[in-house]
Amino acid sequence: MNPTVLGADMFQAMSTYVKDYQDAFKAAAKVVLPSVDQIDHVVLTGMGGSGIGATLVEALLRDSSPRPIVVVKDYHLPKFVNKRSLVIATSYSGETEETLYGVALAKERGAQIAAIASGGALLDFANAKKLPHAPVPRNRQPRAALPLLFGSLAGMVSTIGLGNLALAGEDETTLSNRHLSLQPRLAGAGDDALRFAEQIRHSRPVIVGEAHLWPVAQRWKAQFNENSKIFARAEPIPEMNHNDLVAWAHGPREKGDLLIQLRRPREPNEVRARFEFLATTAKERGVPILTSDTQCRTPLGQCLDQLMVGDYASVYTAVLRNVDPTPVEIIGSLKKRLQEQGLAKEARKRLGLPSPS
Ligand code: PA5
């Protein structure tokens, strides 16, 4: 496989994965933000590749944050949003209409607002209103900017005092070894991501995760959709044990069935039992199972490690299927169609920004 042709830009974007997280974290940690005493709740908004960082942050801080953190992936904000709320909006392009509309509502409710963007209306608004913001470098696909977007958001919430999402030194070596093992080699590689891709290329994978690895499962699903251009599903443990599990036990095995389990060290006994039960059920129907493990010790390290494996696996899957992982024209077409309806325009107007020329 020659990655310098298909997927080269994605591999390039992933070449500084952990450093991107750390650099963005450090830069965002310097942004002047309200302190925890000035806010009653935090709302994190963003769509697709720009929203998954919010899902990760919420899952990582759920047990420790002194303030509720709510993730919104839609146009509207919860009714409770008021001047004691902090709304942090992330949009890589800065032009996503759901996110802009939410920011317009936040402004009208008098909420405190912070932004993460590489440009567009969101960055213009943040600059014009002198709002706290973290600009990220341009020229990537939004989803390929995840370490930058996630690192920026992690830096912001850590500065506010909602938790500490600085990467622990003890995980740095594990992550850098993993990153090295994922690199494309001209003669092919025996690493997890490529090994997984060889099976995933012919399948409709179901990725199962729990706790802080549940958002990682959602990211794998989205990366297989967008990079590999295949259907995929993500299911959370324990919730899936109360519904999806039934389907694993019934009916003939279907072509393309593949179970991927995202595991971590020191799983609680009840979690291990659930994964093992699911694996046995799937195996009895002849469904192949892939397990992605991590050696990282902290929840954040485990997320970054498993994110890298999924991201690389999705690009390898694209390359093996001979499709270009980068373009997602259909998303662009939808955004264009929606522009004609004018909600983005309305959001701009409510934000006091000129219409795009
Ligand atoms: O990965 C992608 O290209 C999409 O999922 C985008 O992230 C999504 O459409 C939102 O756009 P943006 O990230 O520019 O706000």
pLDDT of residue 356: 76
What is the whole-number distance in angstroms between the Cα of residue 94 and the centre of ligand 1?
9
pLDDT of residue 339: 85
Q: pLDDT tens-digit profile of 61-86?
A: 999 999 999 999 999 999 999 999 99
Distance, in Å, from the CA atom of 175 to the CA atom of 295, rounded to the nearest integer, reads 9
pLDDT of residue 243: 97
Q: Has residue 329 got a pLDDT over 50?
A: yes
Average pLDDT over residues 264-289: 96
What is the whole-number distance in angstroms between the Cα of residue 47 and the centre of ligand 1?
6
Distance, in Å, from the CA atom of 252 to the CA atom of 232, rounded to the nearest integer, reads 19
What is the whole-number distance in angstroms between the Cα of residue 226 and the centre of ligand 1?
10
Average pLDDT over residues 341-354: 92
How many residues appear in the chain? 357
Which DSSP string corresponds to 88-116? EEEESSS--HHHHHHHHHHHHTT-EEEEE
Q: Are 325 and 318 in contact (CB under 8 A)?
A: yes
Residue for token digits 């900017």? Answer: 145
Distance, in Å, from the CA atom of 79 to the CA atom of 105, rounded to the nearest integer, reads 10
Pocket test of ligand 1: the residue of 9, 90, 93, 95 to mutate, having most ligand atoms within 8 Å of its CB, is 93
Average pLDDT over residues 82-93: 98
Q: Has residue 130 got a pLDDT over 80?
A: yes
Burial class (CB in 10 A: 0-12, 13-18, 19+), 130: exposed
Q: Which atom of ligand 1 is nearest to the CA of 90?
A: 15
b (16+ CB within 10 A) / e for 62-83: eeebebebbbbbebebeeebee
Q: pLDDT tens-digit profile of 237-248?
A: 999 999 999 999
Alpha carbon of 72 to those of 56, 62, 138, 245, 280: distances in Å?
13, 15, 24, 28, 36
pLDDT of residue 189: 54
Q: Which atom of ligand 1 is nearest to the CA of 46?
A: 15
pLDDT of residue 199: 94
Question: Which of these, 169, 146, 170, 118, lies nearest to 57 by C-alpha position?
Answer: 146
pLDDT of residue 2: 46
Average pLDDT over residues 206-228: 98
Q: Kindly report the average pLDDT of the chain as a whole number.
A: 94
Alpha carbon of 302 to those of 55, 99, 266, 310: distances in Å?
15, 28, 12, 12
What is the whole-number distance in angstroms between the Cα of residue 246 and the centre of ligand 1?
34
**For ligand 1, atom 11, which residue shows the shortest CA distance?**
96
Q: Which atom of ligand 1 is nearest to the CA of 226?
A: 1
Distance, in Å, from the CA atom of 341 to the CA atom of 355, rounded to the nearest integer, reads 14
What is the whole-number distance in angstroms between the Cα of residue 188 and the centre of ligand 1?
31
- As for ligand 1, residues whose beta carbon falls within 6 Å of it are 47-50, 91-93, 96, 99, 141-143, 226, 328, 331
pLDDT band at residue 3 using 50, 70 and 90 as cut-offs: very low
pLDDT of residue 340: 83
Q: Has residue 4 got a pLDDT over 80?
A: no
Average pLDDT over residues 39-48: 98
Please compute, for residue 246, the number of CA atoms within 13 A of its CA located in the half-sphere on the CB side: 3
- Prediction pTM value: 0.96
What is the whole-number distance in angstroms between the Cα of residue 46 and the centre of ligand 1?
8
